[in-house]
Structure 1
């Protein structure tokens, strides 16, 4: 699905009341998969990209159709088909300890790219990065099994605790120049693949759409500071972030986010929340368990708990969740490098220095407890959770719950065990005095984007 195709797509009917973000999100995802199936027949180039560190803006400028392998893998979990793909890759020789996203993708390759949502085309190039150490090894699998060329971006992250680069300072400019040089190499590769010259004006147009999309996305997240929270960050939010990634830089993506913000503002104005009787505001840290996400949310909502925020909505957006992440379209390539350097630091800090950001979000979203979700096959996200949990408990006296399952492997989900732990967690919150009702401490509507 190229940019022109998306721009010609009919816009939804006006009016926030008529907009159902979940149903519209499902429609857009189906349209994305349908266009993936037809990409090669249209003579369109295809690129594999990850949700972090992906240079989407450059690829969209060349009209690449984008394949997100992580989203393909999680969709096998959502559709209750992941175990079939996982077992096939394990039979092939992959260890149970390997990232289940990777194993599902290997199973996809072994099945000739046949996904439950449709046929996935082989990409002409894959973009990997150091935003996750697994990305680079994943790219090597594609090189070996699919003979697919890869391009790896080396993006600078946070160097230490309480360390931060600021836009325009010497360190940031050095980082940006390093990233820009890599982008110029990527552009040359794309020119060779497509036979087209790079268009700086077209890049600026894509960036303008990203700016508008990110503006609405930041407002959407900030609206959940109200009480009752208008959406659940770990159920509704997963649909929102999926559209944020797949339709990034498109008019259809902008329109979805605009209407989403409009609808959620209306809910906040009416005092309407995701949970009818909101009693506990929670923060979710870690990646989801897609095979049982609805069940997990149900266990918390039955106690009047709502996930007002999740750090997954930060690092799964590639760090593009802050108001300062705005492209200067008058100097598109330089600005792309500058913002990518900032976004990489922000995205990586959520994994290596999570305690700093979580402490900030606990205050901003006025949460009563934090839930850590350890992933059996993802040491990258899970390894530091014990230290983070201890820090937040000692410094902020923040009650927390640790549960463990997997991204998409249903064999690691134990419903009875997780239910017992969730129930015990809420009983301890009640013993601490419980949370104020929704008409109390959380009732104020936040000021966002210049509007109350």
Structure 2
């Protein structure tokens, strides 16, 4: 094996800076909550921009689950769920945050998540709704639920429509429903916090989110066109997603710009994650938080590099929305969020588009139990001539031999179908 295969660029400064910022922010948030500030826990598919506009601190449930899983505390959190008499082998990504509330403060990441005053989520499935209902059984926590509406039509190439022509992508009744619910959320929060909502402030937040999304799009497109790939997904994931959870802030906008500039410089300097890149891989599904090193372990043996994850791609295509009515435009950002990632043909067309743009040779598709439409995504990619390894596993539950099974499966897939 050549020395070039073992060469590895230094970690992206954008990733290091984002992680440092998040730790500092979390400590500050804990202090504010201890001093009496309200706290919301929100699912990724809920409109966090309203909270940003009202100055209400919030934590994203999926981010917190990823931190707990990365610290190898997922099993302890899931064991708590089982001890309460609920299934610990279903919807773990939604449930880990709830289970983590029983972790001892000295064991919990960064001192632990304070008890939220509000939990906010879309009712995207029976199990998700039940998890959030359990949050609200605590006397200090209330649950605000968004309805889950379904698409009856699916436009081709939705990513071209949704920034400016989103009313052609999403049915009017879906937009009406979520716009009304956005206003209901404002009323709910105003009554309970005494904080005011300003529509002009929301418009300013939306402008910053759009700027951030455009920087992410530039970064995504630059990585897609670069051979060999200049950055590792281990770095791009935190560098993109931590600012995503701070959408609507100047820091997040500037962080997205800094990531682009750093990747642009890496391309200019001809840096490479694996200089002798032989195979370009796409990882579909949530990050394997308890074993992020997995993505790099195939470089030395096979020259195989994961060049794509959904995090940067959806940040580029899924979030930019422009319109004169900030509240309805915000509804357009979230009403089809699940469709874009998981509902065919919305999702399957998008994954094929991304695979072709990034020139991937093969796909590893992690399918969790709460992810619909996975079979259609795999079939669409195979039909496009791209081999797919489908793995049914949880990205956050490290119990058992999950990491070993996944690694062995990918190795066998590369040797049997990709490298031949």
Q: Identify the TM-score tier after normalising by the shorter chain.
A: 0.7 to 0.9
User: How many residues align structurally?
Assistant: 401
- Shift, 1:206, TM fit: 1.4
Whole-Å Cα distance in 2 between the matches of residues 132 and 300 of structure 1? 38
Contact 2:364 2:410 (8 Å CA) reproduced = no
Whole-Å Cα distance in 2 between the matches of residues 240 and 158 of structure 1? 32
Is residue 351 from structure 1 mapped to residue 351 from structure 2 by the alignment? no
* Residue aligned with 2:399, SS: helix
248-257 or 175-184, which deviates more = 175-184
Pairing partner for 1:61 from 37, 44, 53: 53
Unaligned runs of 5+ in 1: 1-16, 433-452
Aligned to 1:389: 378
Is residue 216 from structure 1 mapped to residue 209 from structure 2 by the alignment? no
Aligned to 2:177: 178
- Shift, 1:324, TM fit: 8.0
Alpha carbons of structure 1 residues 418 and 136: separation in structure 2 relative to 1, 3 Å: closer
Pairing partner for 1:322 from 309, 317, 323: 317
Aligned positions of 1:357-368 closer than 5 A: 357-368=350-361
Contact 1:210 1:248 (8 Å CA) reproduced = yes
- Shift, 1:253, TM fit: 0.9
Aligned to 1:105: 97
1:288-344 alpha-carbon deviations (Å, 9 max, x no partner): 221112134323564222222223545xxxx5532882334x53223323x32xx43
Whole-Å Cα distance in 2 between the matches of residues 371 and 387 of structure 1? 14
- With structure 2 as the length reference, what TM-score do the two structures score? 0.86
1:221-276 alpha-carbon deviations (Å, 9 max, x no partner): 2221111122233x223212431332111111111111110000111122222222
1:395-452 alpha-carbon deviations (Å, 9 max, x no partner): 22211223343222222434554343222222235655xxxxxxxxxxxxxxxxxxxx
Aligned positions of 1:26-425 closer than 5 A: 26-52=19-45, 54-111=46-103, 115-131=108-124, 134-159=127-152, 166-169=165-168, 172-225=171-224, 226-233=226-233, 235-299=234-298, 302-314=301-313, 320-322=315-317, 325-328=320-323, 331-337=325-331, 339-340=332-333, 343-353=334-344, 354-375=347-368, 379-381=369-371, 384-393=373-382, 395-425=383-413
After superposition, the CA RMSD in angstroms is 2.8
Whole-Å Cα distance in 2 between the matches of residues 92 and 323 of structure 1? 37
1:169-206 alpha-carbon deviations (Å, 9 max, x no partner): 49644432222111111111121122233212211221
Alpha carbons of structure 1 residues 277 and 90: separation in structure 2 relative to 1, 3 Å: same
Contact 1:157 1:346 (8 Å CA) reproduced = no
304-313 or 275-284, which deviates more = 304-313
Whole-Å Cα distance in 1 between the matches of residues 290 and 105 of structure 2? 21
* Residue aligned with 1:144, SS: coil
Alpha carbons of structure 1 residues 409 and 36: separation in structure 2 relative to 1, 3 Å: same
Unaligned runs of 5+ in 2: 1-9
- Shift, 1:63, TM fit: 0.8
Contact 1:19 1:259 (8 Å CA) reproduced = no
Contact 2:12 2:235 (8 Å CA) reproduced = no
Whole-Å Cα distance in 2 between the matches of residues 25 and 320 of structure 1? 16
- Shift, 1:356, TM fit: 1.8
Aligned to 1:10: none
